[in-house]
Amino acid sequence: MITPEEAESIIKLSEYVYSHEQISLDASLGRVIAEDIISDRDGPPFDRVAMDGIAVDFDVLYDKSEKNVLDIEDIQYAGERAKTLKNNIGGAIEVMTGACMPIGTNTVIPYEDLSIVSKQVTINTLPLSKGKNVHRQGTDFKNDEVLLKKGTIISSANIGLLASVGKSTVDVKSSPKICLFITGSELVNVNETVQSHQIRASHQYTLGSILRAHALNNFEYKIIQDDENLLRSYIEEALLGEFDILLLTGAVSKGKKDFVPSILESLGVEERFHKIAQRPGKPLYFGVFSNKKNVKNKMVFGLPGNPTSAAVCLRCYVIESILRAQEALYPKQSIRIEGNLYFKRPLTLFNLVSYSENNSAKIIHSSGSGDVISLSKSDGFVELPANINESPSGTYLRFYSWGNKKL
Amino acid sequence: MITPEEAESIIKLSEYVYSHEQISLDASLGRVIAEDIISDRDGPPFDRVAMDGIAVDFDVLYDKSEKNVLDIEDIQYAGERAKTLKNNIGGAIEVMTGACMPIGTNTVIPYEDLSIVSKQVTINTLPLSKGKNVHRQGTDFKNDEVLLKKGTIISSANIGLLASVGKSTVDVKSSPKICLFITGSELVNVNETVQSHQIRASHQYTLGSILRAHALNNFEYKIIQDDENLLRSYIEEALLGEFDILLLTGAVSKGKKDFVPSILESLGVEERFHKIAQRPGKPLYFGVFSNKKNVKNKMVFGLPGNPTSAAVCLRCYVIESILRAQEALYPKQSIRIEGNLYFKRPLTLFNLVSYSENNSAKIIHSSGSGDVISLSKSDGFVELPANINESPSGTYLRFYSWGNKKL
């Protein structure tokens, strides 16, 4: 059996850099930027009033004048072109937050330090320094500066920056078309009547949500009975169709109806590996289909049938591969574990964890890979390499999150 | 000025418990469950074959027989009703992963420990214990057990559990209808030509994304110039309309066109507080509108105009209030900070942070609340209470995330 690192290297060999597409800024959250985002102007684009009050020329006020009573010449509102202070010794312009600083002024004295009677303002407290309460042009960023690097995953916090520089549409990496076939004659849909020997299919929800949490929304699924001909025709259709990635769950092991590997082989999918020295997720299958008509290879992942194994393999191999192909910039995360982790077997252990209240990862002791309750409580999983048997509470391990929000 | 804690108490007084609605399981990610989710059957619902191989009666095989060669009577596939082992001394039934255990059997011997020739199987390695490779009925959960508590925020990891217990629709807490008015004559839309004294509006993207990241999708916005009559007519329409929460950005301070507080007062909105002893976000306004025709109060939040202040106030007061009103179960998060935090003024400091590679929070030193670059780099913010002047690197502080995914 190969190791997880070998599996990753084999998958990498079949990756190609994804193309890109223009999408509306509204739909861009979580997507990977395909070009450096460069400012088209300074930020702020002008010396911007940061407090409501009066704008004055600080130097003149201090050096050439002892006056603390000034005439208000005008009002400068936000959204107006900059006005000009005429009398910089005895005059001032009232200014509103967000406005341009009037020409000839450099400092704002806020209302709380002023008394205004009619058109005359008395300064009660002089500002401490020149430039006070002014958000100077270009202090956030300069024109022609790289604001977000190609590869950035667009977050709530940086989507506003894209708006600031006029990106009503954004050039992002394409999202693969993903097809999920859930195999198993015991499976019925959630809205159907379930008999005592049947199980309701849940992969489409769990795997679908994990994909969507990583902005992979281009996803279809089908539940297919263990019928060799039926399965073959669906797989063939998918391989010749528009999908970039075919995911299958179940039927990759040694059972009499585990048709997936042989069907894939007969349809020309080249097996690259089958089984990894890890728990859970050992039966993972990976193959590549290259249709001569297409330039792009199609990746085929045969995920194990049980929920935790399938979710771990999806996160660890499929999503990581897509992010690499999208050239996404993101650091590999590690996390401090709470609870001891022991695993003596020469396999890499992926262990479910949940966030503790102080942002560490509580080890979830699962009764087995079919334990949907443990999966349900988890926020992701940590990786204990095969050559390490023990990781005590407080140590750091590589962490994969399901991509869910955290409060 | 009131403190953040006082502000929270005042907001709480106007909260009412939200109603609930049935939505499709597909659309339920991130929503708050409105009822305890109770299993309708055991999980697994039957003794489930966990490995491909043969099913035997362990006790008989050990106690009454020395035979290691058995006749294969039948095959039990997944999705079939349980068959019955006829000869429990000399017989076995081949079983496939996911199938029901045949009646009269209790242990599975996997293919790797067997040699099969025609209809005869030779056991090479006897199983160590009774029940091996069987996922016993009810070991994940029992029938009529509470699987997810009312108040759970539906995650990728637990959505599959809802499918398992047949929830094709889920009863979730209603999501408030939110209206956002972005005020400012300097603002233009991202797809419009911007002049040198103008700024492109970005609140709808930043605040909209933070709302969506918390599954608050019921959200509309409008950019409104600083025109008193125009602003009044939009606010009046919103107050008399269907919105539950009205958010405004800008125009809540002391400027000559900061019409919001007076317009709200004239339309019957009761001011509950205006200004909080915090940085950023000091000018926050909160008021309540109770229309006699409606039972429900409308909350009105006047957020400060600058991006970081508005985002902090949205996350800290608006979203927290909604989650309380939805009776969401979630722990208050704290996080370990990387970098020292000093703040001597008697104000609560909300400081932007970004996730480090080991899941701590790197302190972002911002040049000011208008600094969109600092905001863009952040994953959330930490809270340094007013009575604490210093929090050294390595200490833990209360943490608010923007709700973005983490890899």
Distances (CA, A) of B309 to A110, A134, B217, B312: 19, 17, 22, 5
Per-residue pLDDT tens digits for A46-99: 999 999 999 999 988 876 656 689 999 999 999 999 999 999 888 999 999 999
Provide the pLDDT for residue B315.
97
Average per-residue pLDDT for chain A: 93
**Burial letters for A297-325: b for 16+ Cβ neighbours within 10 Å, e otherwise?**
bbbbbbbbbbbbbbbbbbbbbbbbbbbeb
Q: pLDDT digit string (tens) for A274-296?
A: 999 999 999 999 999 987 765 67
Q: Nearest residue on chain B to A110, judged by CA atoms?
A: B254
Q: Which residues contact A294 (CB under 8 A, 6 or more apart)?
A: none
Nearest alpha-carbon partner for B239 in B218, B265, B215: B265
By C-alpha distance, which of A28, A1, A4 is closest to A315? A4
Closest residue of chain B to A141, computed from CA coordinates: B373
- Residue of B356, B360, B405, B354 whose CA lies nearest to B380: B354
Q: How far is CA A48 from the centre of its chain?
A: 33
**What ipTM describes this predicted complex?**
0.94
Q: Residue A63: CA atoms inside 13 Å, Cβ hemisphere, count? A: 7
* Residue in A137, A255, A377, A202 with CA at minimum distance from that of residue B99: A255
Task: Give the closest of A80, A254, A360 to B52, CB-based.
Answer: A254
Q: For A318-374, how does the pLDDT look when each residue is reduced to its tens digit (9 = 90+)?
A: 999 999 999 999 888 999 999 999 999 999 999 999 999 988 999 999 866 568 899
At A150 the three-state DSSP class reads coil
> What pLDDT is attached to residue A371?
80
Q: Which of B205, B227, B322 to probe by mutation at the A interface, max A CB count within 10 Å?
A: B205
The answer for residues whose C-beta is within 8 angstroms of residue A257's C-beta and 6 or more apart is A185, A226, A228, A251, B77, B78, B96
Chain A partners of B200 at a C-beta cutoff of 8 Å? 163-166
- Which residue among B400, B402, B407 places its CB closest to the CB of A157? B402
With beta carbons under 8 A apart, name residues in chain B contacting A146: none
Report the chain A residue with the minimal C-alpha distance to residue B380.
Answer: A157
Pairing of strands B341-342, B390-391: antiparallel
Chain B: closest CA distance from residue A289 (Å): 27
Of B82, B165, B305, the CB nearest to A98: B305
User: Rounded to an integer, what distance in angstroms lies between the CA atom of residue A170 and that of residue A22?
Assistant: 5
Q: Which residue type does A337 have?
A: I
Could you tell me which of B204, B166, B366 has the C-alpha nearest to residue B279?
A: B366
Number of residues that make up chain A: 407
> What pLDDT digit, counting tens, does each position of B36-45 carry?
999 999 999 9
* CB within 8 Å of B176: residues ≥ 6 apart: B18, B216, B218, B244, B245, B322, B325
Cis bond before residue B280 (omega within 30° of 0):
yes
Q: What span, in angstroms and rounded, lies between the C-alpha atoms of A322 and A328? A: 9
Place of tokens 């252990």: A349
Please report, in angstroms and rounded to a whole number, the separation of the first and last CA atoms in chain B. 40
**CA trace torsion B308, B311, B316, B319 (10° rounding):** 180
* Residues B116 and B149 sit within 8 Å (Cβ to Cβ): no
pTM of the model: 0.95
What percent of chain A is predicted at pLDDT more than 70?
A: 96
> What is the pLDDT confidence band of residue A121, given thresholds at 50, 70 and 90?
very high
Per-residue 3-state assignment (H helix, E strand, C coil) for A81-92: CCCECCCCCCEE
pLDDT at B258: 80
Cβ contact B166–A194 (<8 Å): yes
Helix residue spans in A214-354 (DSSP H): 228-240, 260-266, 307-313, 320-325
Examine the pLDDT at A201 and tell me if it is beyond 90. yes
Question: Which residue is closest to A359 within chain B, CA to CA?
Answer: B335
* Distances, alpha carbon A21 to alpha carbons A28, A33, A34, A119, in Å: 11, 10, 8, 57
Integer CA distances (angstroms), B201 to A28, B310, B317, in order: 17, 13, 22
**Minimum Cα–Cα distance from B352: chain A residue:** A157
Give the separation between CA B55 and CA B58, rounded to whole angstroms.
9
Q: List the helix and strand counts (H, then E) for chain B.
A: 9, 28
Q: Are strands A169-173 and A20-24 parallel, antiparallel or unpaired?
A: antiparallel
Measured at the alpha carbon of residue B245, what is the angle toward residues A154 and B324, in degrees to the nearest 5? 80
pLDDT the model gives residue A405: 59
Q: What are phi and psi of A276, to 5 degrees?
A: -130, 145
**B-chain residues near A184 (CB < 8 A):** 78-79, 98
SS3 B182: strand
* Burial per residue of B182-193, b for 16 or more beta-carbon CB atoms within 10 angstroms, e otherwise: bbbbbbbebeee
Would you state the pLDDT for residue B405? 59
Provide the shortest C-alpha distance from residue A244 to chain B (in Å): 22
Distance CA B118, CA B109 (A): 17
**Chain A environment of B378 (Cβ under 8 Å):** 157
Confidence of residue A404 (pLDDT cuts 50, 70, 90): confident
DSSP A102: P
- Identify any residues that bridge with B342 across adjacent strands, giving them in sequence order: B390
Would you call A329 exposed, middle or buried from its count of C-beta atoms within 10 A (0-12, 13-18, 19+)? middle
- Closest residue in A to B331 (Cα) is A357
Asked if A158's CB is within 8 angstroms of B376's CB, the reply is yes
Residue A36: strand, helix, or coil: coil
* Distance of alpha carbon B344 from the chain centroid: 35
The CA-atom distances, in angstroms, between B100 and each of A83, A189, B93, B139, B381 are 83, 19, 11, 15, 51
**Min CA distance, B290 vs chain A (Å)?**
30
Can you give the pLDDT at residue B22? 98
Beta bridge partners of residue B33, listed in sequence order: B172
Q: What is the pLDDT of residue A232?
A: 96
B-chain residues within 8 Å CB-CB of A141?
372-373
Contact A191 B212 (CB under 8 A): no
The answer to whether A271 touches A341, Cβ cutoff 8 Å, is no
Q: Half-sphere exposure of residue A126, counting CA atoms within 13 Å on the CB side? A: 16
Contacts of B196 in chain A (CB under 8 A): 45-46, 81
pLDDT 10s digits, A297-313: 899 999 998 899 999 99
* Sequential pLDDT tens for chain B (407 residues): 999 999 999 999 999 889 999 999 999 999 999 999 999 999 999 999 999 999 999 988 876 656 689 999 999 999 999 999 999 888 999 999 999 999 999 999 999 999 999 999 999 988 778 999 999 999 999 999 999 999 999 999 999 999 999 999 999 999 999 999 999 999 999 999 999 999 999 999 999 999 999 999 999 999 999 999 999 999 999 999 999 999 999 877 777 778 888 999 999 999 999 999 999 999 999 999 987 765 678 999 999 988 999 999 999 999 999 999 999 998 889 999 999 999 999 999 999 999 999 889 999 998 665 688 999 999 999 999 999 999 999 999 999 999 875 65
CA distance linking residue B119 with residue B339, whole number of Å: 70
- Kind and range of the H or E run holding A12: helix A4-13
Q: Of A106, A73, A65, A59, nearest to A89 (Cα)? A: A65
Q: B39: nearest CA in chain A?
A: A373
**Burial class of A177 by CB neighbour count within 10 A (0 to 12, 13 to 18, 19+):** middle
Q: Which residues of A touch B399 (CB under 8 A)?
A: 359
- What does residue B315 show for φ and ψ, rounded to 5 degrees? -65, -45
Partner residue facing B197 (CB), from A82, A148, A156: A82
CA distance, residue B96 to nearest chain A CA (Å): 5
Q: How far apart are CA A273 and CA A131, in angstroms?
A: 65
pLDDT of the residue at A65: 56
Q: Which two tokens stand for residue A124?
A: 């009660």
Q: Tell how far CA B89 is from the center of its chain.
A: 54
Letter for the amino acid at B188?
V
Residue A363: enclosing H or E segment and its boundaries?
A: strand A361-363
d(CA A203, CA A186): 13
Is A164's CB within 8 Å of B367's CB?
no
**Rg of chain A (C-alpha set):** 30
Residues of B in contact with A148 (CB under 8 A): 376
Among B82, B135, B163, beta carbon nearest to A200? B163
Chain A residues touching residue B372 (CB < 8 angstroms): 43, 140-141, 160-161, 164
Give the tens place of pLDDT for each residue, A176-197: 999 999 999 999 999 999 999 9
